[in-house]
Amino acid sequence: MSILISGASVAGLAAAQRFSARGVEVTVVERAPQLRRSGAPIDVRGAALQVAADMGILDVLAAHETGAAQRSAFTHIVDENGEKVGALPTELPQDSPDDLEIFRSDLIDILHGAVGSEATFIYEDSIQEVTDTGDAVAVGFASGRRGRYEVLVGADGIHSGTRRLVFGPEERFRRHLGVYYAILSLPAELGADGEAFLFSMPGRSVLIADYAARTMGGFLFRSPEIAYDYHDVEQQRQLVFDEYSSARGWKVAELLDALKRSEDFYLDSASQVHMDRWSSGRVVLLGDSAFAPSFFSGQGTSLAMIGADVLATAWATCDGNIAQAFGRYEQAMRPQVDRAQGGVPQARDRLLPANREAIEARNRQWPPIL
């Protein structure tokens, strides 16, 4: 029997690598037709660096650093005319010089390349039915395919289908932090002279950041939960247009124009996932599906990689006692997750002040570097 992993992103690929490296037969099912490679650069930090080393990918990750370290250690805050009015430190208190910043696309490719050819990948399919029979998990897929697996790992993100099927509806576990973020690659003419710039309006910010090989843009806005189809990119694009329809100043118009044409646009709610337990019988959740700290924490990717390693190690040493393995995984990960999930509101308020007074207070606290 093999292990089934739902989701082929950071958590799913890292788990596939860590389980296959221990000789386990792995099947990965991904809802999208191929690996999803868009998104902003992400940090691999702390214990995740050791996990990368154990996977044999640390050097290649280091060779793919984004080049952000070459720009100044500040994100310049500008006003509607592009004048510098503040500067936020790019480094977080928990940052270390060893941390690596990698484009999400590179990380996904490198993790996928590390998985090994023995693993089976199924795309454009998803789990629709899960039955724990005690000695196995019986799974029915949307395609009609069926399978029996020793363990099911739900690594399918903050809107996890595995979590919904096994643990209950999303609204019980996902906490929307009152913010949506959208990320896209920008054409070279919107380049930021090797720097990063942020322009804030009440409850809305846009940013442009240069990296060695490309320029990325972002839209951040405060909003209560919006009901939309997580799989309908055009609907999500329209959501950003609606939100910024009255926004003016700096390069907002150019950013909206780039959004129209963008092929790698990604939008999601800044959310955290909080659960009392991450496993039930032979089903266990990993990464954002279990413990999303939100993008404000800068730690979701590292936690997903560390969790994959801890889970595979616990499983490999449990002598068939799966409940004990899942218990050990949870015990090791909880304190790190709790730390990452704390402190997020401050990061949110810095990037995205709620009103004009808050914008001015932030700019006074972080004066410009001219």
Contact between 307 and ligand FAD (CB under 6 A)?
no
Distance of CA 149 to CAs 19, 58, 283, 296, Å?
Answer: 14, 31, 10, 35
Helix H or strand E segment including 330 = helix 322-341
Instruction: Please report whether residue 40 would count as binding ligand FAD according to CB under 6 A.
Output: yes
Q: Of 130, 155, 310, 359, which one interacts with ligand FAD (CB under 6 A)? A: 155
Binding ligand FAD by CB under 6 A: which of 2, 4, 12, 340? 12
* Residue position matching structure tokens 């694009």: 237
Output 85 or 258, the one with its CB closest to ligand FAD: 258
- Determine if 161 is a binding residue for ligand FAD (CB under 6 A): yes
Q: Is residue 105 classed as helix, strand or coil in its secondary structure?
A: helix
145 with 129: CB under 8 angstroms?
Answer: no
Q: Identify the three-state secondary structure at position 189.
A: helix
How deeply is 169 buried, as exposed, middle or buried, from its count of CB atoms within 10 A (0-12, 13-18, 19+)?
Answer: exposed
Rounded least distance, CB 267 to ligand FAD, Å: 9
Candidate segments 69-77, 198-206, 299-307, 343-351, binder of ligand FAD by CB under 6 A:
299-307
CB 209, CB 192: distance < 8 Å: yes
Among 3, 4, 5, 10, binds ligand FAD (CB under 6 A): 10
* Candidate ranges 2-10, 17-25, 111-119, 143-151; the one touching ligand FAD (CB under 6 A): 2-10
Enter the tokens of residue 202: 């009440």
Q: Which residues pair with 121 in a beta bridge?
A: 28
Nearer to ligand FAD, 85 or 351 (CB): 351
CB of 40 to ligand FAD, least distance (A): 3
Binding site for ligand FAD (CB under 6 A): 6-12, 29-32, 36, 38-40, 42, 104, 126, 155-157, 161, 183, 266, 287-288, 295, 300-301, 304
